[in-house]
Amino acid sequence: MTQPQTFPDVYIHDTLQRRKVKFEATSPGRVGMYLCGPTVYSDAHVGHAKKEVAFDVVRRYFLHLGYAVRYVSNITDVGHLQNDSDDGEDKMLARARLEQLQPMEVAEKYFWSFMDDMGRLNVLRPSIQPRATGHIGEQIALIEELISRGHAYESAGSVYFDVRSWPNYGVLSGRKLDDQEEGTREEVRGDKRDARDFALWKNAEPSHIMRWESPWGQGFPGWHIECSAMSLKYLGEGFDIHGGGLDLEFPHHEAEIAQSEAAGHPFARYWMHNNMLTIGGEKMSKSKGNFTTLSDLYKRLDPMVVRFLLVGSHYRSITEFSPEAFVSAQNGYRRLTEALNEVERRLKAGAGEENDAALIGKVGTHRAAFEKAMQDDFNTPEAVAALFGLTRDVNAALVGTVGKAGLEAAQAAYRELGGEVLGLFAEGQASGEDDGQMLDTLLELVLQARQNYRLNKQYAESDALRERLAAVGLTIEDTKDGARWKK
């Protein structure tokens, strides 16, 4: 009989319960995650990268533990209005006007630039990446359920969620309806019954070109409803983890919970929020204009250094974006990759049998520290500290003689923990592959030079080249097909 697979305990800081709780998967061995994705109307900035990397690491860690993960992250291409609430122009339309493009051209352009930027950061592609405009039917169906249960009402071709009908509204953010009334008393505008009611569907003005048929006339969905409709469609009721930026906790996530549960669909069981990337202490944001796009940053910095900087602070901590932080990330990243490269170079060169028990023991200790950190609410700074601990011991061992077993243990730790879990070594990077290729090219050139000497009968120069290569362990063999080198 096969034993059911067991998984180590993972503790998650759940925003809903406001504490760390033990993660229990809804179906054994499987994790369903939903992450609020980008509104694709402009280039991604470093703040977006903090969020994407934070949840990519969560996903990668579950994969590392042996879970099957379904990772759904949406693309908002309609309904996100400029002031994040229920009025202002649609962000997509405003951009379309500015760039003289169709809204769907804007969506396409910035969707792909987002994918490229995140790909270079080694963020895994979502299992499903649903677009709001592709799920209008699902959103309308959910709104109809809300109306029939008395939690939403139609008014002048728009539909609003009735917050007064749902006492649980505020459960995530801890905001009480009456406090909100005090704090945000505003005129009840136009067609809403209460200023805090939020739009599920908006009637389209004649000039609004993104419009769909609905039971309430032509219009477009509100921003919040897409995430409920699409997460429930692809992950099912009571799915495991919902993530997003802390700035989305209210009203976006509060609205997602209310409209899903009021429609009779139990929603996400754990809520995770990443903190903000700041610049001069202020949130980096498109609307504030204080942003650096990833594509600009990559002109100056290796994307892996950007990723290293991001995992160097905890997802629930603020990350300050500063030149000093990048210099230190660059140095730290180099320390790891240099050690890994040296380990892999020696393995390639062919290491023998040695007594590596001490090094292997230390690698085990650092591995355990890494796992412990990750199981404690994905504590990546401590996990990185474990990799530095590993590097210290590996470097000390590399000064002497290390055998194959010791090198392989170190390599596996770097590749699995730094590479697969933290995503720090993109393909071909720090693998020694690049170095290997460069070495091949250089040796080709050297062989050619030697061949030229021989053709010119400059045998002394040709022999000198061979001797210098021999001194670093590279032998030139003259075969009938020409010269070859071997290590």
286 binds, among Zn ion, ligand ATP, none (CB under 5 to 8 A by kind): ligand ATP
Comparison of 147 and 225: residue with beta carbon closer to Zn ion: 225
Binding-site residue total for Zn ion (CB under 5 A)? 2
The least CB distance from residue 82 to ligand ATP, in Å, is: 8
Q: What SS3 state is found at 249? A: helix
Comparison of 287 and 456: residue with beta carbon closer to ligand ATP: 287
The least CB distance from residue 250 to ligand ATP, in Å, is: 12
The least CB distance from residue 106 to Zn ion, in Å, is: 20
Contact 127, 35 (CB under 8 A): no
227 binds, among Zn ion, ligand ATP, none (CB under 5 to 8 A by kind): Zn ion
- DSSP lists the bridge partners of residue 245 as 274
Comparison of 82 and 451: residue with beta carbon closer to ligand ATP: 82
314 binds, among ligand ATP, Zn ion, none (CB under 5 to 8 A by kind): none
297 binds, among Zn ion, ligand ATP, none (CB under 5 to 8 A by kind): none
Comparison of 127 and 293: residue with beta carbon closer to ligand ATP: 293
Strands of the 277-279 sheet, one edge to the other: 282-283, 277-279, 319-320
Pair of tokens at residue 33: 């995650």
Contact 273, 15 (CB under 8 A): yes
Contact positions vs ligand ATP (CB under 6 A): 36, 38-39, 47-48, 50-51, 244-245, 247-248, 274, 276-277, 283-287
The least CB distance from residue 288 to ligand ATP, in Å, is: 6
47 binds, among ligand ATP, Zn ion, none (CB under 5 to 8 A by kind): ligand ATP
How would DSSP label each residue in 84-125?
Answer: SSS-S-BHHHHHHHHHT--HHHHHHHHHHHHHHHHHHTTPPP
Give the footprint of Zn ion on residues 4-63 (CB under 5 A): 36
Comparison of 140 and 374: residue with beta carbon closer to Zn ion: 140
Contact 187, 193 (CB under 8 A): no
The least CB distance from residue 363 to Zn ion, in Å, is: 41
Residues 74 and 33: their CA atoms lie apart, in Å, by 11
Q: Is 167 exposed, middle or buried (0-12, 13-18, 19+ CB in 10 A)?
A: exposed
Comparison of 110 and 153: residue with beta carbon closer to ligand ATP: 110
Q: Under 8 Å CB-to-CB from 334, ≥6 apart: which residues?
A: none
Residue 227 as a binder of Zn ion (CB under 5 A): the answer is yes
Q: Is the peptide bond before 251 cis (omega within 30 degrees of 0)?
A: yes
The least CB distance from residue 430 to ligand ATP, in Å, is: 26
For the chain, what percentages of helix, strand and coil (3-state, to nearest 5) are there?
50, 15, 35
The least CB distance from residue 60 to Zn ion, in Å, is: 22
Pair of tokens at residue 55: 């949840």
Which bin fits 238, alpha (ψ -120 to 50), beta or left (φ > 0)?
Answer: left
Comparison of 35 and 413: residue with beta carbon closer to Zn ion: 35
Return the C-alpha torsion angle 312, 314, 315, 319, nearest 10: -60
50 binds, among ligand ATP, Zn ion, none (CB under 5 to 8 A by kind): ligand ATP
